[in-house]
Amino acid sequence: MTPRPPLKLRLDGGALVANWNWLAAQSGAAACGAAVKANAYGLGAREVVALLSAAGCNQFFVAHWGEAAAIADLVPPAQIAVLNGLDADDPADVLQIGAVPVLNTPLQIARWKAAGGGVCHVMLDSGINRLGIGSEQLDETLFDGLDIDILLSHLASADEDVAQNSRQLGTFSDMARGVKSKRKSLANSAGIMLGPDYHFDLTRPGLSLYGGIARPEMVEHIKPVVQPQASVLQVRDVPAGSLVGYNATYETAAPTRVATLAIGYADGYWRGFSCQGHVTFDGQRLPVIGRVSMDLLLVDANTAPHLAEGDWVDVGFDLLSASALSGMSQYELLTGIGHRSERMWV
């Protein structure tokens, strides 16, 4: 038997599906896919893919081939796109998986052709200068013999109202004009909110599926999916003037009930929450005091006199406010959730 961990990650499947449905509606005539890379941003790719597939999603994006193999039994492998392309050792293995590579460089294109080719996707770099074929690499023969399903690019600053967005849209449109493909895709979660010109044939949200607020327009519509819960390991009464946690960064101003919880930065509850975050028990908000430790968290439990060893508390993890408190991006908060939490879909 495997002992149950003292950490839970309550995951709201209904909220996940509602978020996808709302993002699909905002995508207009374009189909709506789902980015499930990094184990679905830390939530669990297999559970997410199963839920979204049942809701009608039929295009999934991962980063690595191992991620594709992990979900290839849940959906037709042709619905899985591998964003990082393929290296010299990949073709024989990936042909067996059946997922579709996103070809990012002329060398990857050559490898795919040499391996026998087949349906592929191609990334064009429209201005992020990260992955993708640059405009200087385009020539009349580069894509000869390719069966391109999705021609895609990636927005660098869609979460901001900046000129780069329209420049990338123009660059992508210009670069795509001479490339034959079945579908085109540009918009991520934030890009969906930039309007129909950015939608093309397929949008591919990630962050906002999981409760992240990519743009202010989403605040009233995107539902939280993630709720960490931690068990109480100890409750003690300490006198005024007591120093709490590493390096004595907090001193009690009055007699204080200090509760020690089984969560820390090894679980993705970062040191930036020190003396900033909170947990909730029985409707009461209990502030974090002292520094967040690797495995432990201390809170002031004066307003929760019935809190006892073995109880469970909800850890404040609203992504927008948690990002502001911790100094971490919403992406980092999600993907940084540790593996010690028992993931419980409800």
pLDDT at residue 175, rounded to an integer: 96
The verdict on whether 37 is a catalytic residue reads yes
Can you give the pLDDT at residue 117?
A: 84
Task: State which residues of the chain have pLDDT below 70.
Answer: 1, 90
Which pLDDT score, from 0 to 100, does residue 272 have?
A: 94
Per-residue tokens: 133: 């074929």
Give the pLDDT score at 87. Answer: 81
Q: How far is Cα 79 from Cα 99, in angstroms, rounded to an integer?
A: 7
DSSP state of 104: -
Handedness of CA 140, 143, 144, 150 (dihedral sign): negative
CATH code 2.40.37.10 for 226-345: yes
The CATH class of the 33-212 domain is: alpha beta
Active-site entry in 8, 37, 250, 331: 37
DSSP annotation string for 45-93: HHHHHHHHHHHT---EEESSHHHHHHHTTTS-GGGEEETT---TT-HHH
Please tell me the distance from the alpha carbon of residue 296 to that of residue 308, in angstroms, as a whole number. Answer: 16
pTM of the full structure:
0.95
pLDDT at residue 176, as a whole number: 95
pLDDT value, residue 2: 73
- Quick check: helix, strand or coil at residue 328? coil
For the chain, the domains span 33-212, 226-345
E runs forming strands in the chain = 7-11, 31-32, 34-35, 60-62, 80-82, 100-103, 119-123, 147-152, 183-185, 202-203, 226-238, 243-244, 250-251, 256-261, 278-281, 284-287, 297-300, 312-315, 342-345
The confidence score (pLDDT) of residue 140 equals 79
Question: Residue 228's pLDDT is what?
Answer: 97
Whether 246 is catalytic = yes
